[in-house]
Structure formats: structure tokens, C-alpha cells
Chains A and B, each alone.
Chain A
């Protein structure tokens, strides 16, 4: 097996972390059977963009938020209006998000949800680029504290 590259070359070329971070959403209190909304605040590193939930091209990876089965069921989402960003690498504008934005999930608490504190978990998948490079798609684990009341 051949040698791998030196640490200095690695650091120079490939040091990249998460460029999209989220603030844990506020705890929601929901009555069994009732609807409740929760906003997931996101903050994207300056200079980067992520494709919106409805990218301009089929080959682009959309922003996706999914929630695992639990005391709340996601009935729908509201994504912010995307920007139509113009980048040197694309002839046509791209449907993207930049900076701070939030995704609102419209939940419905199941009618037979047991009262008490719960944790709902989910995943946020995104793919970010700046004006000259792209980062591989990443999936962040997200969670939401839920209080089911009668």
C-alpha cells in the first residue's frame, strides 16, 4: 500500500468542518391530538450556500428535514423563500439558502400520546458549496424536547 499524504498537505487542502449549525429548537408543549409548530433555527457559515428544499437542477442535493416516529408526527414543513443566487460556476441562478434561516415543522400530536416529557429525533441533510468548491452532503442529528399534556 502506498504512503498517504503528509499531515501538512491534509491540513492545507482538506480542513473543513460543519458549515451548517442548528440551534436546538425550543421545547414544545402539545396536547394529545392537537397541532403544534416548531422552528429549527439554522446558521450557515459566511460565504457558503446550501441548496434549497427545491433545487434548480435534478442533480443537486436538496435540503431535507425528517423526523423519526414519536409522540409527534410531522404533517408538513415551511421552508423560507429561497434566494436565487448567481455563482460563477453556474450559468443560471441557483435556488439556495445562506446565512441564518429556519425550517418550521407542522406537527400533530398523536391522539393516544402518553402525557409526559419526550424527545423527538430527526435528521437534517444538506449539501453546501461556496463560490469555488462544494462539500460532500452531510446529515446532522437533530432533536426536539416535547411535553405531551392532557
Chain B
């Protein structure tokens, strides 16, 4: 085999590997996680949504807007995740940054068949989450309401999926016990094993 042929085969193999492999982002360690800012906003039905009510669940908080193309790519994924993992203690909360508010968002919810709760993000909430200035921006919260990771911009669907599955591995009862133990409580390997159910 000539040197050129070897190089061509090597390049093809590298391209193939690049297409197949995926390096997911790691979740933050327990000690690195910060408590997510709480908020109370109204959903499309006018019902209040308080983030602390979701304690014990894995929550994906997604800042988005109807005019954001990359956000539109992610929405069907979130619809799927909500459907697939809801019963395991997972929820998506969509926070729209649309200046036109519900006038723009309600029709979008209907046309995109969004099955999770959507709210209009207030300026204060946006600031509390770090002055959201790029969309989509998402925060993955563990069952204790802490930010386990965040994503700015469009990322791989598998990243979300892997993170959700990892965070769901921590049983609800263990997470609730840790919350009850106080703000410095940290889950340790002693009490929690992957796949363990409450």
C-alpha cells in the first residue's frame, strides 16, 4: 500500500471514528454544585410554577425564545425527554425570553406540541441565572435543586440524555434526606448507588 493510500485510509478511519465517538461533558461534582436560584412564574394556564416545588426531581431549566433557531432544534428533544422520563422524576421547565410574551409563545407551544410547562422569564429571573444573554441556555438541576451542569448554545442531544440518566440514578429518597440534613449535606457513595431505587 502506498503512503498516499495509507494516509487516505487513515483519514477515512479517523472521520469514521469522529462520527461514531462522542465525549459527553461531565456533571459537576457534588461539592461544586450551587443551589439554583428559586423563581415563581406563571405557566401558560396561569398557574404558578415555583422551582422549589420540583425539589426531589431532576429538572432541566431551558431559557429559549421563539425567534431562536437553535432553540427550536432542542424543543422536540425536550418533549421526548419529558414524555420518557416524567414518571422517573424528571421535568422540563421552559423559560421564554420573548419580548412579546404570551402573544408569541402560546401559538408556538401549540404548533410545536410542547408538553412541558413554559413560562415567560422575567428580567429578575434572567439576572439570577447569570444575565442570560445567549439562547438556548439550559441548566440541569439534580434532585436537590442544585445546578449539576449548564449548557450555552446548541449541544448534542446525547449530552442531555446522559446527564438526565445519571442524575435520575440518585434515588429521590436519598436526595430528600440530604436536603433535610441541611444546606451543607452532600450525598456520598455510602448511601447512594447507581440504579438503586428508594
Contacts and interface: CB of A to CB of B under 8 A. Distances in A.
Interface residues of A, number: 28
A85 B178 CA distance: 50
Interface of A: 1-6, 9-10, 13-16, 59-61, 87-90, 94, 127, 129, 132-137
Interface stretch (B61-69, B82-90, B168-176, B185-193): B61-69
Interface of B: 34-38, 65-73, 97, 99, 104, 108, 127-137, 147, 150, 152-155
A134 B130 contact: no
B130 A133 contact: no
A134 B34 contact: no
A5 B71 contact: no
Contacts of B68: 129, 133-134
Given A134-B134, A137-B67, A2 B72 contact: no
Contact of A133 (B67, B72, B97, B152): B152
Contact of A137 (B99, B130, B134): B99
A88 B153 CA distance: 12
Nearest to B127: A4
A78 B36 CA distance: 47
B65 A9 contact: no
Given A3-B35, A89-B73, A9 B66 contact: no
Nearest to A16: B133
